[in-house]
């Protein structure tokens, strides 16, 4: 089996500055574990998603695979090449696009910027220009080809950065939150292009990190869920959702609640619980994964005993986010998390 | 191997292209980098005229003002450039590209030299015409050799500094700010460095402009040799050695800093 990416017990930790409070930390430098024995295998030709909340270790993994960071221990192979021992060989095979990032120089126009980056990969100018034409057309950027990038909107600059990654013709593409902050239409264009690019050549592989579960569900052949540097589970989105087949997922909206969230997880029949405050709507969304459907009566009773008015209640099909909640015990957007 | 060389060559040209294009697309830079230096240079000329200094001093000042354009460019657009690249998000992209990092620096240097030469030439020609500077070139080949060796070693120094900027953003920034004016003084931009004494002259010789300017003055003006610091041939040799030292050291410094950055996770860390 040919793997585009393989990692074996990959660890990465960062030294933290000495704690100011001597009593609490004995004045020894702390350590942040970004990756904790992370092992994944991505097949050639696969669109693989790495899902997790902010700080889960997704970007750290991508930085190691793209030779920007050394692992503390463990091995990472890209197209069979060791990222530590032969970084130059790895770089010939890869490219990376980080969402929310820009590239190039404001003084150059879009076409010049894409040409410049293509030259770092030794692409003949004629080939590069042809690729640029295709990308500009597919991503609806033709009218901006001669616009200086300093004059582009944030979304268009992100789109340019996205094109920059693909114009270099990588075999393996690392996309780190590529649709972060993009408006709906641009994000749709970006996702459509990823699918088209994959279809063009069966040897192409994409590792996509995202915390948009719907995006992963829509795009990915397989996904791994990562939290606190650990790979929790890895399978197809369909199989992952099937793990919740015997359970019931309910969403309940209540008026904005600040305290006592931890008590919801203790209701009888609740397997996992997560919440998200929607301050702009003045509501808190509670998500319950129940051992069986009948336990919903315990939940409503608990809420009514605690004078919580139910604004809405709906039963939902399990999503990848629910899989995450079931595994980790908190939602992707929980500030502190909640355990049952 | 051949493909790698070709790719690196393309990278040098592509990176140089940004600077060459930038020179023509920002007219305001012409104002700040040509007219303003002419004003400060003119101030020194008038001081010398008021003090009734020998007429060659006017030429010395014009030459110093011309070379000053390169020094400012090396400090802020070579040494500090990796700091900007990191903040803009380009450094990550250079680091994941299958090219030598030296190609990026060489491209920056080549583009910088071309960009600055047009400005330096403007300062030189305008200053020479306005103040009626008379030249008496002793040896054109030596003058050209000194000029190019000065530029190569100067940009080599800039490349060495830029590797420091890759890891030490703000600290390196302060360092460069501290360097700017003292180097103007000890390198003898506006007067012969011999006036500072032998010891200061030797220390200042680590900045390639010191010996470069001194040698150019000795070779381009009638009274230049009389006010020279050391023999021109020796200055040429030292400049050649500095070229090799700075270019080789910058390569190793860059590799070391990259390795350190990847180990400590600071290579792509912003807002340091």
Strand bridging mode A248-255 / A230-235:
unpaired
Cβ distance of A120 and B265 shorter than 8 Å: no
Contact state of A91 with B96 under an 8 Å Cβ cutoff: yes
Q: B90 — contact with chain A (CB < 8 Å)? A: yes
| Chain A interface mutation, best of B19, B91, B97, B259, highest count of A Cβ atoms under 10 Å | B97
- Hey, of A120, A127, A163, which one would you mutate to test binding to chain B, going by the most B CBs within 10 A of its CB? A120
Estimate to the nearest angstrom the gap between the alpha carbon of A269 and the chain centroid: 31
Yes or no, beta carbons of B22 and A69 under 8 Å apart: no
CA of A260, closest CA in chain B: separation in Å?
38
Same domain, A165 and A261: no
Q: Which of A210, A236, A262 is the last residue of a domain?
A: A236
Distances (CA, A) of B157 to A114, B136, B238: 30, 30, 14
| pLDDT at position B228 | 83
- The pTM is what? 0.84
Backbone angles phi, psi at A124, to 5 degrees: -55, 140
How many other β-carbons are positioned within 10 Å of the β-carbon of residue A165? 22
A340 lies in some domain: no
| Same-domain status, A110 and A130 | yes
d(CA B96, CA A261): 44
* Residue B241 token pair: 């050695």
Encoding tokens for residue A185?
A: 């239409």
pLDDT in the model for residue B73:
85
CB contact under 8 A, B98 and A69: no
Facing A102 at nearest CB: one of B13, B88, B263: B88
| Preferred mutation among A98, A113, A119 to probe B, highest tally of B CBs within 10 A | A119
Residues of chain A in contact with residue B19, where contact means CB-CB under 8 angstroms, are none
Distances B165 to B91, B252, B262 between C-alpha atoms, Å: 11, 14, 15
Q: Are residues A53 and A194 in the same domain?
A: yes
Shared domain for A207 and A300, answered yes or no, is no
Q: Tell if the CB–CB gap between A68 and B263 is shorter than 8 Å.
A: no
Same domain, A180 and A98: yes
Same domain, A248 and A126: no
| A158 and A254 both lie in a single domain | no
Which run of H or of E encompasses A32? Answer: strand A29-38
Tell me, what's the pLDDT at A62? 95
Contacts of B268 in chain A (CB under 8 A): 63, 68-69
- The position carrying tokens 């220390």 is B203
| B87–A contact, CB cutoff 8 A | no
- A43 with A161, same domain? yes
Spatial contact of B84 and B18, defined as CB atoms under 8 Å apart: no
Structure confidence at residue A339 (pLDDT): 32
Residues of chain B where predicted confidence (pLDDT) is lower than 70: 1-2, 169, 269-272
Interchain contact, B7 vs A63, CB within 8 Å? no
Predicted complex: ipTM over 0.90: no
Could you tell me if A194 and A229 lie in one domain?
Answer: yes
Q: Distance between CA B132 and CA B161 in Å, rounded?
A: 37
Strands A248-255 and A283-290: antiparallel
Number of folded domains in chain A? 2
Instruction: Clarify whether residues A215 and A323 are in a common domain.
Output: no
Read off the tokens for A75. 């091995």
Pairwise CA distance, residues A330 & A321, whole Å: 10
Last residue of a domain, one of A236, A255, A279: A236
> Angle formed by the axes of helices B101-130 and B232-264, to 10°?
140
- How far apart are the CA of B149 and the nearest CA of chain A, in angstroms? 28
Which of B2, B28, B98 should be substituted to probe chain A, the one whose Cβ sees the most A Cβ atoms within 10 Å? B98
Count residue pairs from A and B with Cβ separation < 8 A.
Answer: 85
pLDDT of residue A336: 44
| Residue A200: C-alpha distances to residues A169, A195, A203, A204, A208 (Å) | 12, 9, 9, 8, 18
> Do the Cβ atoms of A69 and B93 come within 8 Å?
no
**In-domain check, residue A106:** yes
List CB contacts (< 8 A) between B98 and chain A.
88, 91-92, 120-122
- Is A41 within the bounds of a domain? yes
Residue A28: predicted pLDDT: 58
Structure tokens at A167: 């114009």
From B37's Cα to the closest Cα of chain A, the distance in A is 24
**In this structure, is residue A339 part of a structural domain?**
no
Cα radius of gyration rounded to whole Å, chain B = 19
With residues binned 3-state (H G I as helix, E B as strand, rest as coil), the percentages for chain A, rounded to 5, are 35, 30, 35
Structural domain contains residue A337: no
Let me know if residue A23 belongs to a domain: no
User: Which residue range(s) make up the domain with A286?
Assistant: 243-328
CA distance B82 to B90: 9
Which of A195, A211, A236 is at the close of a domain? A236
CATH number, residue A257: 3.30.70.100
Contacts of A162 in chain B (CB under 8 A): none
For residues A77 and A159, membership in a common domain is answered with: yes
CA B239 from chain centre, in angstroms, equals 13
Q: Is residue A224 part of a domain?
A: yes
Nearest by CB to A69, which of B88, B93, B262? Answer: B262
Counting as low any pLDDT under 50, the low residues of chain A are 335-340
Residues A40 and A181 in one domain: yes
For A42-52, how does the pLDDT look when each residue is reduced to its tens digit (9 = 90+)? 999 999 999 98
The reply to whether residue A69 touches residue B26, judged by beta carbons under 8 angstroms, is no
pLDDT at A53: 85
Cβ(A27)–Cβ(A102) below 8 Å = no
**Sequence-distant (≥ 6) Cβ neighbours of residue A262 within 8 angstroms:** A338, A339
Query: Does residue A334 lie within any of the structural domains?
Result: no
**CATH assignment at residue A222:** 3.40.50.300
CA distance A113 to chain B (A): 9
Decide: helix, strand or coil at residue A209: strand
Predicted pLDDT at A29: 64
Pick from A108, A109, A122 the residue to mutate for testing the B interface (most B CBs within 10 Å).
A122
What pLDDT is recorded for position A335?
46
Contact A120 B7 (CB under 8 A): yes
Give me the pLDDT at residue A18, please: 64
Tokens representing A109 are: 């126009």
Å from A175 to nearest chain B CA? Answer: 13
- pLDDT tens digits, residue range A263-272? 887 888 888 8
Alpha helices (H) in chain A, listed in sequence order: 22-25, 58-65, 87-91, 110-119, 125-138, 154-167, 184-200, 213-219, 237-242, 296-305, 320-328
Q: Do A120 and B92 touch (CB under 8 A)?
A: no
- Residues 96..135 of B with a Cβ closer than 8 Å to A: which? 96-99
């Amino acid at each position: 089996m040919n793997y585009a990416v393989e990692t074996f017990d990959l660890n990465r930790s960062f030294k933290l500055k000495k704690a100011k409070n001597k009593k609490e930390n004995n004045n020894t430098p702390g350590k942040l574990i970004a990756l904790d024995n992370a092992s994944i295998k991505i097949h050639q030709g696969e669109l693989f998603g790495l899902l997790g909340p902010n700080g889960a270790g997704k970007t750290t993994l991508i930085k190691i695979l793209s030779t920007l960071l050394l692992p503390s221990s463990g091995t990472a192979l890209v197209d069979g090449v060791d990222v530590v021992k032969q970084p130059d060989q790895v770089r010939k095979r890869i490219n990376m696009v980080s969402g929310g990032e820009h590239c190039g120089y404001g003084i150059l126009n879009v076409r010049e910027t894409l040409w410049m980056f293509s030259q770092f990969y030794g692409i003949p100018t004629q080939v590069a220009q042809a690729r640029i034409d295709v990308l500009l057309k597919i991503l609806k950027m033709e009218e901006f080809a001669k616009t200086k990038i300093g004059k582009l909107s944030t979304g268009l600059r992100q789109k340019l950065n996205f094109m920059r990654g693909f114009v270099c013709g990588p075999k393996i593409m690392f996309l780190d939150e590529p649709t972060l902050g993009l408006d709906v239409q641009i994000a749709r264009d970006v996702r459509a292009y990823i699918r088209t690019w994959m279809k063009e050549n069966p040897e192409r592989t994409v590792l996509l990190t995202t915390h948009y579960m719907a995006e992963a569900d829509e795009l990915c052949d397989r996904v791994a869920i990562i939290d606190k540097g650990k790979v929790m589970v890895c399978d197809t989105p369909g199989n992952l959702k099937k793990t919740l087949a015997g359970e019931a997922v309910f969403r309940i909206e209540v008026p904005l609640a600040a305290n006592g969230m931890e008590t919801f997880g203790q209701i009888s029949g609740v397997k996992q619980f997560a919440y998200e405050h929607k301050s702009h709507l003045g509501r808190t969304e509670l998500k319950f994964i129940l051992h069986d459907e009948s336990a919903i009566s315990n939940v409503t009773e608990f809420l009514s005993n605690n004078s919580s008015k139910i604004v809405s209640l709906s039963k939902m099909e399990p999503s990848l986010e629910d899989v995450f909640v079931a595994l980790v015990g908190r939602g992707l957007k929980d500030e502190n998390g909640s355990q049952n | 191997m051949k493909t790698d060389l070709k790719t690196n060559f393309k990278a040098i040209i592509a990176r140089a292209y940004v600077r060459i294009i930038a020179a023509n697309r920002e007219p305001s830079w012409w104002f700040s980098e040509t007219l303003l230096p002419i004003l400060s240079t003119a101030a020194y000329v008038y001081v010398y005229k008021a003090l009734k200094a020998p007429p060659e001093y006017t030429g010395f000042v014009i030459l110093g003002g011309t070379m000053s354009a390169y020094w400012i460019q090396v400090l802020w657009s070579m040494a500090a450039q990796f700091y900007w690249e990191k903040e803009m998000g380009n450094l990550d992209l250079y680091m994941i590209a299958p090219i030598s990092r030296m190609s990026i620096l060489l491209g920056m240097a080549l583009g910088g030299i071309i960009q600055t030469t047009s400005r330096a030439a403007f300062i030189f020609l305008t200053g020479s015409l306005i103040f009626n500077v008379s030249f008496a070139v002793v040896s054109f080949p030596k003058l050209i050799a000194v000029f190019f060796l000065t530029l190569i070693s100067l940009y080599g120094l800039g490349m060495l500094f830029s590797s420091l900027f890759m890891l030490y953003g703000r600290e390196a920034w302060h360092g460069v700010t501290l360097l700017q004016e003292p180097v103007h003084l000890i390198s003898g931009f506006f007067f012969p460095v011999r006036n500072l004494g032998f010891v200061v002259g030797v220390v200042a010789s680590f900045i390639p402009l010191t010996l470069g300017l001194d040698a150019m003055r000795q070779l381009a003006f009638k009274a230049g040799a009389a006010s020279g610091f050391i023999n021109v041939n020796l200055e040429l040799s030292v400049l050649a050695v500095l070229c090799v030292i700075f270019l080789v050291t910058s390569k190793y410094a860059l590799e070391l800093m990259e390795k350190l950055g990847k180990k400590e996770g600071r290579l792509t860390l912003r807002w340091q």
